[in-house]
Amino acid sequence: MTRRILSVHFQGLAIDRLRRLETMRRRMATKPQDNADGRAEAPFVLVENGAKGTRITAANGAAFGVGARLGQALSDARAVFPGLRAEPADPGADAELLEGLARWAMRYSPIVALDGTDGLMIDTTGCEHLFGGEAKLVADCLKRLRAAGFAVAAGMAGTPALAWALARFGEEAAIAGPGETPARMKDLPVAALRLSRERRTLLKRLGLKTIGALAAVPRAALERRFRSREAAQSVQLRLDQMMGTLDEPLVPLYPPPPCRAFLAVNEPVIDIGGVEIVVEDLLVRICHRLVERGEGARLFRLTAFRADGGSSTLLVRLSRPGRAREAIMRLFAERLEEIDCGFGIDGFALSAEDLSELSQVQTALAAEEAGDGAQSDPRVFCDGIAPLVDTLANRLGAHNVHQWAPVESHVPERAVRRVAVGGALAWQQWQERASPAPRPFRLFDRPEAVEVTAEVPDGPPMQFTWRRVRRLVTRASGPERIAPEWWRADARGVAVRDYFVVEDGEGRQYWLYREGGYACGEPAHPRWYLHGLFA
């Protein structure tokens, strides 16, 4: 499949951000005089303080019309036009806006990369048919961004370098089809190679004003015209990247999900009922791909792209990897009202993330009786508690629902820790981790002291008193000796423990331990504690 890259260039992102902010303020204003603010149309610049004073970093068209220039001192610009208005630049807000636009652009492809401070690179390979072809995809992107108040241009080509050049030096919505790279690049200026100012100046002095003229010069002759070999190689590198002989990878804003489905609707969806129908359709496609891959997902991400340029994201997490469509749909249905439809949603994307392999095990005699779980691991789909945990986690938040996860330690109070459900530690670790001996259903946070009578000094208890009640022991097993972890600093001074499982006359089972012991050189009267209760 031929690689296709769409470059989007925002020609005045900082000014557009401020213009959009002013428009929003005027719409929210309650006083008529507030609506009369004409800052967006008057000559206006953004400035930044530096070592050389206050300099202009951005300007609107009206400011350029009265002689303002980028990098010019604000005092010089105001000497020409005294009424020039200025505000401090905010690079942080500009970067935040560009990142938001990158998330918005994921409606066209999951691979979107930031391109400097004023552009985006979108790898649309294999996505064009979803929008009716490359021309319609580019036109749709430009239409939406311009409707949102951005001055923007775009270029599409087989390499990021040529796409970047077409977006900045080509005609509106320029597209270079497969095989058209040499023809489209020859008339572009050398500035389209993304070279430094010194390199561009030298090439102009050499009479090489276009990329075609530069490419016609033999490389050995070109290298002799530069003062250093490094400078010549940097020019050759940019040429190779544009022609595609040297690959230029993109670093996406977010790693692309392995399973993703996109659906563009003809009419904007404005009600939750319509959203539910779309999600069901996307889930069918996603779960089918998961079955083909033999995997299940812990996270399902639904992104709804609004017609006004915004987006809403809804996450559904599972405590265990799964692909049961009906169960996942129930979790989505409970939270679809959280999606902000705004003036309508015209695009949906559903991705399955955090994938894990699932064994192919049939869980029922007939596949139709088992549903989606018939081809999945029974430990995942036949455990009755998993749907309950998933429902609680998605209603209350995964951070509010916890599970116990094993820890590499033989000391009971350190052998487990509490983690949020659906975390990196899977429940299956409990089955994989063999316990040296039975462990109580309930483990006390702090062991409680008890009085014990034993038949022999180092033997099991005959009777014990706990919470002022004396209990006779009818059966006992043990001891299980647990020594302190000597390599830990907080283990110093901790005595050896001998654990016993004892049962009283009513069938209740207890987990007692003796701290220290006669065989360990400990005091003649060791201390006894109750550490847990069995079910």
pLDDT band at 476 (very low <50, low <70, confident <90, very high): very high
d(CA 418, CA 405): 6
pLDDT at 459 over 60: yes
pLDDT digits over 141-154, tens only? 999 899 888 999 99
Q: Which CATH superfamily groups domain 259-389?
A: DNA polymerase, Y-family, little finger domain (3.30.1490.100)
Residue 282 has what pLDDT?
A: 93
Instruction: Quote the mean pLDDT of the chain.
Output: 82
User: Given a cut of 90, is residue 4 above it in pLDDT?
Assistant: yes
The pTM of the full predicted model, rounded to 2 decimals, is: 0.63
The answer to which of 208-217, 316-325, 484-493 has the lowest mean pLDDT is: 484-493
Report how far residue 312's alpha carbon sits from residue 100's, in angstroms, rounded to the nearest whole number.
12
How many C-beta neighbours within 10 Å does residue 226 have? 17
The two structure tokens encoding residue 217: 């010069």
Residue entry with tokens 């539910």: 276
Whether pLDDT at 35 is above 70: no
Give the mean model confidence (pLDDT) for residues 182-198. 89
Q: Is the pLDDT of residue 7 over 90?
A: yes
The residue with tokens 């000497």 is 79
Query: What is the per-residue pLDDT for 433?
Result: 54
pLDDT tens digits, one per residue of 93-124: 999 999 999 988 988 998 999 999 999 999 99
Residue ranges of the chain assigned to CATH 3.30.1490.100: 259-389
Return the DSSP state at 516: S
Indicate if the alpha-carbon torsion angle 334, 337, 339, 341 is positive or negative: positive
Reported as half-sphere exposure (CB side, CA atoms, 13 A), residue 509 has a value of 14
Strand pairing category for 497-504 and 509-515: antiparallel
Residue pair 461/476 in contact (Cβ under 8 Å)? The answer is yes
Q: Is the pLDDT of residue 319 over 60?
A: yes
| pLDDT value of residue 528 | 92
Instruction: Determine the pLDDT at residue 29.
Output: 67
Q: What is the pLDDT of residues 392-441, one digit of tens each?
A: 777 777 777 777 777 777 788 877 777 777 544 444 454 445 556 778 88
Residues comprising the chain, all counted: 535
Structure tokens at 413: 């109070």
Judged by DSSP in three states, 531 sits in strand
